[in-house]
Chain A
Amino acid sequence: QIEDIVTRIQDEKAGGVAIRTVKSFLSKIPSVVSGADIVQWLMKNLSIEDPAEAIHLGSLVAAHGYIFPISDHVLTLKDDGTLYRFQSPYFWPSNCWEPENTDYAIYLCKRTMQNKARLELADYEAENLARLQRAFARKWEFIFMQAEAQVKIDRKKDKAERKILDSQERAFWDVHRPVPGCVNTTEMDIRKCRRERNPHRVKKSVYGVPDDGQSQPSPIHISSQPTRKPTKEDVQKEITFLNIQLDRHCMKVSKVADSLMTYTEQFMEYDPFVSATEPSNPWISDDSTFWDLEASREPSQQRVKKWGFSLEEALKDPAGRDQFLKFLESEFSSENLRFWLAVQDLKRRPLQEVASRAQEIWQEFLAEGAPSSINLDSHSYERTSQNLKDPGRYSYEDAQEHIFKLMKSDSYARFLRSNIYQDLLLARKK
């Protein structure tokens, strides 16, 4: 996608940026654009309102190596008269460059051979060169020869062309061997490395140096999965799946949209990003009172209000559970909730305890003559007793769902109308 933009920018006829030759002191600077021009173009063509955003984007385009300042190693975009040049497509990242240190050594060596002041090595480059000389001590003669060959080739080119090519080459290395402290944009997310963008793994040398086989392919690259051709079973599975999808009852987008909107609106007052938190957002004020209040068993009105949204919300809040339980106990009908809570607890038990806990729950709530017997329909009852032959964390799933629905349609509604709840909800109201 970056390349799309970069191509557009350069296309003068289609409203791109004017690339000119600028006269400076004794010489002409060919093929440049000012930073400000680029920023302008970005803002206009990509509908960016804030120049800071355009600068940020432009700097990233530079950091990836598509444009570069002609007189700086650091690849960022500035919104002023600083001059930039476009990188040659040969050097674009999409060509999957992974240049070897031998190439870099040749490049640095070549630079030292040329007498121009502007080609002098920067400190970090000189350090790099010294390091490489030590590392490639035995190969150095070879590298030196390659560098000389490159210099010869370069000399044959036209002066203006050379200026351009030299700067592009330098920019290429600025991307692959960045100034210390700068982001190396060639780093990749290791999970994506397997995707062979360069399927033949041809090690391209920048200077045509043949690969002497010293490079180790990264272990990730070796283990790429071969693409599986779909078998008959695969397609059959797909067909079954599609048929199920066709039969599925779906809602209209308008209904769904309404539902999303209602949910969001209901919770917006609880969303610290949208509405102010009382007394303050701890991260902003450095005061953790808000958290202490939320954790307390004495809920605020706002919290109590949330319990009224749904049974799920009421049960999520420990204080809500307490109050609901209290209410049910006053009606002598707390066994449903206690069953539900016991099953929730069962799911959190370590495996060794699961079987015995499951039995205990059965004894307490479901067995004949159980002390807190709950009312299950015969179907769920059968299913559950079957499940208990091999008890697991989810043996009571059916039963729990049934009981939950029961509570929702019956006791929950009464809870919301009860004095216990209403008192809390309206408490402190003047």
Chain B
Amino acid sequence: MATQEVQLNETLAHLKTESETLKSKLEEERAKLHDVELHQVAEKVEGLGQFVMKTRRTLKGHGNKVLCMDWCKDKRRIVSSSQDGKVIVWDAFTTNKEHAVTMPCTWVMACAYAPSGCAVACGGLDNKCSVYPLSLDKNENLAAKKKSVAMHTNYLSACSFTNSDMQILTSSGDGTCALWDVESGQLLQSFHGHAADVLCLDLAPSETGNTFGQCIQSFETHESDINSVRYYPSGDAFASGSDDATCRLYDLRADREVAIYSKESIIFGVSSVDFSLSGRLLFGGYNDYTINVWDVLKGTRVSILFGHENRVSTLRVSPDGTAFSTGSWDHTLRV
């Protein structure tokens, strides 16, 4: 038995060396394609002018940290979830609260608006993702209509509807992502590949979307937890925000990181990122209570926004790009 084990260890070591060799070969190959930096190419692009961005709306009503939010396709409604266990739907334009649901657990870390605008999904420490239909009847007890859709073995970190109300994608602290059918609660597909908690997810912006399956690409350049990922509007690239205080842009076609957005004076982690409609601006919500706005192509910071009194935990640009909303540990949301 002992010799078998030794043999096993040897093959394992052998395999590991093979893996290492492949990795360096891959790096070499990729480096060959790295002929220029994005910001160098972007030098010929016109610079952006000064921006005046102000808080236009402040949504108050949560009793504790706001953890997550999402926009409705109608561009004015927002759903937000908080550590106080409440999920609230607001008409952000008028700042009215339209619905409120109390979840049985605190720390509701994920919430999402259905594309039709008729339902919201949320979850967190309860390890589940539940879908609540939104009814216009104010007297109806929404909690009674709740549908439990997803089950994970650890906390739910993010959820998102796919192109319809019928399917939801979830990610969890148990290291997996999963696709569920909303009506039946059936698990349609499961995605493994992460070695640790999955903190966030985003879907490519294409209309069709059955590209689920194997892990296609992998990127490892951040030095710490990656808290947020978001696709670039064309779907060819994505940005990430991390505890190492940087945001990075990765291109899927070049299969590498193409830009880093960082500054010596930014030492707190990024909790959430999103692009403006054209992809020219990248907004990052930081744990130092600020929002930094980056010029995606040139790699420079365009603006820094103050206003929140505690960490910015979540940030999303509205579907038509007219505004972006942030949620914070200071119990408020701002647009």
Residue numbers of A with Cβ under 8 A of B are 1-2, 5, 42, 46-48, 50, 52-54, 56-57, 60, 183, 187, 190-192, 194, 223, 228, 230-232, 235-236, 238-239, 241-243, 245-246, 248, 250-261, 263-268, 270-274, 277, 281-284, 288, 290-291, 294, 312, 315-316, 344, 347-352, 393-394, 397, 400-401
Contact = CB atoms under 8 A, between A and B. Distances in A.
A250 B255 contact: yes
Contacts of B236: 256, 259-260, 263
Interface of B: 8, 11-12, 15-16, 18-19, 22-23, 25-26, 29-30, 33-38, 41-42, 45, 48, 51, 53, 56-57, 75-76, 93, 107, 109, 125, 154-155, 157, 163-166, 173, 181, 183-184, 195, 197, 199, 206-208, 210, 215, 217-218, 225, 232-234, 236-237, 245, 251, 253-256, 258, 263-265, 267-268, 276-281, 288-290, 296-297, 304, 306, 309-310, 320-323, 329-330, 335
Contacts of B321: 270-273
A176 to B, nearest CB: 17
| Pairs A-B, 3 closest by C-beta atoms | A348-B164, A267-B278, A271-B278
A257 B166 contact: no
A76 to B, nearest CB: 12
Nearest to A223: B154
- Among B25, B93, B125, B234, find the residue whose CB has the most chain A CB atoms closer than 10 A: B234
A232 B11 contact: yes
A288 B323 CA distance: 13
Contacts of B195: 228
Contact of A260 (B18, B38, B207): B38
Contacts of A294: 320
Contacts of B35: 252-254
Contact of A348 (B155, B165, B279): B165
15 contacts: A46-B265, A54-B265, A56-B288, A60-B268, A242-B26, A246-B26, A252-B254, A256-B254, A260-B232, A260-B296, A261-B297, A267-B278, A282-B322, A312-B206, A350-B166
A127 to B, nearest CB: 22
Given A260-B237, A347-B164, A192 B281 contact: no
Given A235-B15, A294-B320, A349-B166, A251 B33 contact: yes
- Among A254, A271, A350, find the residue whose CB has the most chain B CB atoms closer than 10 A: A271
B306 A56 contact: yes
A243 B22 contact: yes
Given A53-B265, A349-B166, A267 B56 contact: no
Contacts of B76: 282, 288, 291
Contacts of A273: 51, 53, 276-277, 280-281, 321
A248 B217 CA distance: 10
Nearest to B195: A228
A237 to B, nearest CB: 9
A283 B253 contact: no
- Among A236, A347, A400, find the residue whose CB has the most chain B CB atoms closer than 10 A: A347
Contacts of A271: 276-278, 280-281, 321
Nearest to B157: A191
A316 B264 contact: no
A251 B268 CA distance: 33
A19 B195 CA distance: 47
Contacts of B268: 60
B217 A272 contact: no
Given A253-B254, A257-B41, 14 more contacts: A190-B155, A230-B12, A230-B16, A242-B22, A250-B30, A257-B36, A257-B42, A260-B232, A261-B45, A271-B321, A273-B51, A274-B276, A350-B166, A352-B183
Contacts of B207: 312, 315-316, 344
B290 A291 contact: no
A191 B173 contact: yes
Nearest to B277: A271
Contacts of A260: 38, 232, 234, 236-237, 251, 258, 279, 296-297
